[in-house]
Structure 1
């Protein structure tokens, strides 16, 4: 059992889903978000309300931590200054505080949007170079590169979870990109309990028949998703509008993120969700 885990973005849908399992994996769980605590705390859980863009509270909560599960961020495209504060600076603060306190590993909620502009008919792997679609995706590239640098120069392990769609299946895109909550918990558990990871990228996606990405390069983590979005296919296709092969929103891994203007968010409910960290 680990001494202490710090979970950021703990008030978001995904962070909330992780709290119970993380509390079982460490003597102490520190959950943090810019929002107040959501629901009752676990017996070994402490809640810290903080802005990750401010370094001092991040540094303080990291003391004595074995690992950090970093899900705190703006979870959609937004104006650059907001993304800069929460997603760039907040992520830097996490890794810098981890470096100062000798934290073993950072488990980072990255995103498909770090590689979102690749065509969907390209079966991309975990070693695929960055090709972001938005300021939001660009921040995920920054987080992955920061994690690699901190591993290579400071020995802090990193597992970067390129999450596809961790939300109810409401679109044809989500039939391939869906990540169920049980599979999310399993993914994060494997990212924590694998003895050594060095720097690793893995896609956060369920065992979907139409999965558009390849996780074989990270198979050593032992992530074996169980859920499959195909159970929703008949209903989704019955309500779907005709496909348009000239629309990048339908032909790129990014979905609608491929076509929105910089700084303008999308309605995540219509695309089957994004990672919804916060």
Structure 2
């Protein structure tokens, strides 16, 4: 299946369905363009631009059903936010890097930039659903349109983008949206007011004992929640953008109305059938009923 595969559907990145990875419409870009090092997440070293040894001629993974058992846990966590199919089918018009080896390097360099832009599209699309942030919906919509425009540029123009500056501008808007949502979440809480534990951006909560914690409306942006015990915790209305959930235990936790949570974060955590997730996210297949 290395021949051209026609992309038959419309591509509207503002739809969250199109911001989810569609590996059938991608040329295995995450398996080639990205480097990884031998670690707990990867069983071997691989340089950027080098095809993974498990990548098949049809761009499928030859060990997809055994990745975690074979030491490729990182592959089961990664999410491109739909950037793979956008680069494959739109930016490069459906012509793969094997057919056109002269464009391979450019394709591999464009992919991680597109991934950043698609991540921003994910956050902006979500922010536009926040009723408490309706006062800034016009600004959010304009930022979404501009980000979408950038994703449709030609490859050379994408490489010249100042993505860091664009991310900073978008993040300022997302932070305003977050503050409005979290303020509303705190106002709507019932019961004794009492003082609540507060956290700032990048809080060090590695291994923290937060079982059953009331974290509604908490600012956990960029928090290090690696191996934290969040069993049964209430994270509704919490801002989780960029939080590191690697091996965090979220069995029975309620994340239904948390904001800016991504599939990759969920994939890296330990959950179970009792973990409540936002409707846009799916329960990882590697979660067992007990979360082991």
TM-score, normalised via structure 1 length: 0.33
Higher strand share: 1
| Structure whose alpha-carbon radius of gyration is higher | 2
Structure with the greater relative contact order (CA < 8 A, sep ≥ 6): 1 or 2?
A: 1
